[in-house]
Amino acid sequence: MMRPRKLVTVSHSYVVTLNRRLANEMARVGAGRWDVTAVAPKSFHGDLSPLVLQRDPHEAVNLEGVPAYFSRSLHGFVYGPEVHAHLSRGADLVHLWEEPYVLSGLEVAMMTPAHVPLVFCTFQNLTKRYPPPFAQAERFVVRRAAGWIAWGQTVHDNLLARPGYEQRPSRFIPVGVDVEHFRPDPEAGRAFRERLGWTSEGPPVVGYLGRFVPEKGLRLLMDALDRMATPWRALFVGGGPLEVDLRAWAARHGDRVRIITGVKHAEVPRALNAMDVLCAPSQTTPAWKEQFGRMLAEAFACGVPVFASDSGEIPHTVGDAGRILPEAYGGAWITALEELLESPAQRQELSARGRERAVSRFAWPVVAKAHLDFFEQVLERGA
Average pLDDT along the chain:
95
The predicted-structure confidence for 41-79, as pLDDT tens digits, reads as follows 999 997 767 899 999 999 999 999 999 999 999 999 999
pLDDT at residue 203, as a whole number? 96
Please give the CATH topology (third level) of the domain spanning 186-361: Rossmann fold (3.40.50)
pLDDT at residue 147, as a whole number? 98
Torsion of CA 282, 266, 183, 312, to 10 degrees: 20
The predicted-structure confidence for 128-164, as pLDDT tens digits, reads as follows 899 999 999 999 999 999 999 999 999 999 999 999 9
pLDDT at residue 329, as a whole number? 86
The predicted-structure confidence for 80-137, as pLDDT tens digits, reads as follows 999 999 998 899 999 999 999 999 999 999 999 999 999 999 999 888 899 999 999 9
pLDDT at residue 284, as a whole number? 94
Q: pLDDT > 70: what percent of the chain?
A: 99
Residue 126 CA to residue 344 CA, distance in Å, equals 39
* CA nearest neighbour of 259 among 270, 279, 244: 244
Statement: residue 39 has pLDDT above 80: yes
Residue 179 pLDDT level (bands cut at 50, 70, 90): very high
pLDDT at residue 48, as a whole number? 67
Provide the residue type at 150 as one letter. A
SS3 245: helix
Statement: residue 1 has pLDDT above 60: no
pLDDT at residue 370, as a whole number? 98
Residue 337 pLDDT level (bands cut at 50, 70, 90): very high
The better pLDDT of the pair 330, 277 is held by 277
pLDDT at residue 383, as a whole number? 64
Residue 117 CA to residue 146 CA, distance in Å, equals 5
CATH 3.40.50.2000 range(s) for the chain read 5-176+363-382, 186-361
Statement: residue 28 has pLDDT above 80: yes
* CA nearest neighbour of 170 among 183, 180, 161, 181: 161
pTM for this one? 0.93
pLDDT at residue 330, as a whole number? 86
Q: Report long-range pairs for 319-327 (Cβ below 8 Å, ≥24 apart).
A: 319/357, 319/361, 320/353, 321/350, 321/353, 321/354, 321/356, 321/357, 322/296, 322/350, 322/353, 322/354, 323/350, 325/281, 327/217, 327/220, 327/281, 327/282, 327/283, 327/284
pLDDT at residue 219, as a whole number? 96
φ and ψ at 141, to 5 degrees? -65, -40
pLDDT at residue 231, as a whole number? 97
φ and ψ at 103, to 5 degrees? -70, -35
pLDDT at residue 303, as a whole number? 98
Residue 219 CA to residue 213 CA, distance in Å, equals 9
Residue 383 CA to residue 380 CA, distance in Å, equals 5
Residue 221 pLDDT level (bands cut at 50, 70, 90): very high
pLDDT at residue 47, as a whole number? 73
| CATH number of the 5-176+363-382 domain | 3.40.50.2000
Mean pLDDT value of segment 316-336: 95
DSSP assignment, residue 122?
E
Statement: residue 234 has pLDDT above 80: yes
pLDDT at residue 200, as a whole number? 77
Provide the residue type at 204 as one letter. P
